[in-house]
């Protein structure tokens, strides 16, 4: 419920912007083609749908609104003690250089509200991994509680990590500014729904690869805050989960966040 309320609050300004926009023409862009539906007031509203590696017709035009969603991203993962608590959580010690995520947003769409503003969305698939430092692992005990525990005596954990795959559906308000036919410079802020699946805790135990636990009470659905910015086809992003990775009272209170770069197509 907390995550749903947060998402609604984030989208209220978007709804207000959409209501203040007068009825407009609608231009639909798909791959290298577009069609236009005329309305009486002579204005225009663009709805675009992008396909991987294919630029929409008009992307070099300074009046064209190009959504920055689809593409490939790579970033580093961290965990905080509470919401928007940047820094390392006390309960978990991660190997920063080996805790990372990657993803591909295959499709995107945009509703152009004005020359510089639009509402963007998309759909993507990716992978997330958290590497634990030291001789520890994520495990689920006999009571069904997820813990970060030390290895038993005479046991050595290496490459211990928690990993899962995800689907992400972002919704953002984007501002962009073209400089003639160059650019655009862009920034966006919004939220995304994240579906997590195939969750496992894995480690090399005394030289043998083993799966320590599965599922581990990781929330199957989450909502992230999402901030993006950049120029033309390259940018940065920061996302922060609005809730703990683990279900309430079934695991440690850890809030995932990530910072990385993205190449947009």
pLDDT tens figures, 131-159:
999 999 999 998 999 999 999 988 999 99
Give the helix/strand (H/E) hosting 2: helix 2-20
Q: pTM (2 decimals)?
A: 0.79
Structure token pair of residue 90? 């006390």
One pLDDT digit (tens) per residue for the chain, 265 residues: 454 444 444 444 444 444 444 444 455 554 434 434 444 444 445 555 566 666 555 555 556 778 899 899 999 999 988 877 776 676 789 998 999 999 999 888 888 888 899 999 999 999 999 999 999 999 999 899 999 999 998 899 999 999 999 999 999 999 999 887 788 999 999 999 999 999 999 999 999 999 999 999 999 999 999 999 999 999 999 999 999 999 999 999 999 999 999 999 8
Strands (E), 59-133: 71-80, 100-112, 117-131
Task: Using alpha carbons, select from 87, 19, 80, 92 the residue that is nearest to residue 224.
Answer: 80
CA distances from residue 156 to 79, 128, 160, 253 in whole angstroms, order as listed: 24, 24, 10, 26
pLDDT tens figures, 108-120:
888 888 889 999 9
Can you give the pLDDT at residue 183? Answer: 80
């Amino acid at each position: 419920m907390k995550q749903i309320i947060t998402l609604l609050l984030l989208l209220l300004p978007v709804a207000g912007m959409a209501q203040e926009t007068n009825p407009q023409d609608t231009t639909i862009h798909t791959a290298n083609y577009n069609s236009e539906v005329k309305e009486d007031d002579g204005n225009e509203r663009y709805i675009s749908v992008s396909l991987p590696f294919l630029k929409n017709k008009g992307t070099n035009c300074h009046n064209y609104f190009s959504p920055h969603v689809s593409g490939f991203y790579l970033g580093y993962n961290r965990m905080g003690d509470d919401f928007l608590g940047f820094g390392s959580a006390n309960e978990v010690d991660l190997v920063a250089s080996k805790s990372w995520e990657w993803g591909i947003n295959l499709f995107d769409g945009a509703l152009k509200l004005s020359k510089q503003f639009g509402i963007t969305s998309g759909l993507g698939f990716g992978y997330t991994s958290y590497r634990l430092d030291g001789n520890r692992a994520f495990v689920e005990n006999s009571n069904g509680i997820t813990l970060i525990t030390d290895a038993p005596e005479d046991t050595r954990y290496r490459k211990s990590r928690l990993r899962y795959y995800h689907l992400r559906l972002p919704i953002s308000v984007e501002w962009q500014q073209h400089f003639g036919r160059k650019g655009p410079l862009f920034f966006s802020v919004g939220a995304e729904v994240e579906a997590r699946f195939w969750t496992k805790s894995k480690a090399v135990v005394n030289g043998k690869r083993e799966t320590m636990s599965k599922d581990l009470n990781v929330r199957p659905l989450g909502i992230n805050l999402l901030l993006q910015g950049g120029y033309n086809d390259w940018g940065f992003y920061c996302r922060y989960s609005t809730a703990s990775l683990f279900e309430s009272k079934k695991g440690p209170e850890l809030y995932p966040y990530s910072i990385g770069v993205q190449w947009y197509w």
